[in-house]
Amino acid sequence: MRSLLLAGGRSSRMGSDKALMEVEGIPCIVRVATALAEAGCEPIRIAVAQPEDVEKYGEVIPDSLDVEWVLDSVTHAGPIEALLEALTDPLIADIDSIQLCPVDVPWITSDLFLELEKTLGDDDLLAIPADPRYTHPLLSRVRPSLATHIGEDRRSLRLQFAELEHSTLLADEDILRNVNYPSDLD
């Protein structure tokens, strides 16, 4: 199993790099990467915006994790571009599915990733986690063939994914919660 950890954002609302923000003394990127590894979602492809991010984040990522670094072809183009690049990589042509995850969900658990894998039906393009109010497309389990369906469409992934054949996993909103502002860490 593979995963794509999205760490190429600007963190403009946070005011500092979300990937390095600590929750209970552990940087967000380490918390998320560890949850992915514990679920067997390695190698973990970490998409970053700039070459210096590899060095910066690499300093905190444990050496025990199987990580592949990839530089976004267009800096800060957004998650759709990073997702398309990952899904069209020839190295994943024979992979059944990929676990997506943004860097800003420090309370995410390996159990969620394992449940998403079980939830992904044979005819589904993806399995989307949801809480009672929202779906969380950047935490979806996706099949590589999804790339042909999103292609040039630049609407939000929430809208696009809702139109595709998928399964939904209802999950605890506390583990799906992302960090956008300093107050979100309280």
CB 104 within 8 Å of CB 23 = no
What is the number of domains present in the chain? 1
This prediction has a pTM of 0.91
Where in the sequence is the domain holding 37, given as residue range(s)?
2-185
CA dihedral 122, 78, 14, 138 (to 10 degrees): 0
Closest to 87 (Cα-Cα) out of 98, 102, 72, 74: 98
Mean pLDDT for the chain overall = 89
CA dihedral 17, 18, 22, 23 (to 10 degrees): 170
pLDDT surpasses 80 at 186: no
Spatial separation of the C-alpha atoms in residues 73 and 33, rounded to whole Å: 22
Structure confidence at residue 179 as a pLDDT band (50, 70, 90): confident
With a pLDDT cut of 70, the percent of the chain lying above it is: 92
Q: Which residues pair with 5 in a beta bridge?
A: 46, 101
CATH of the domain at 180: 3.90.550.10
What is the rounded average pLDDT of the residues 96-103? 95
pLDDT surpasses 80 at 140: yes
Strands annotated E in the chain: 2-6, 22-23, 26-27, 44-48, 67-71, 98-102, 126-130, 141-142, 166-170
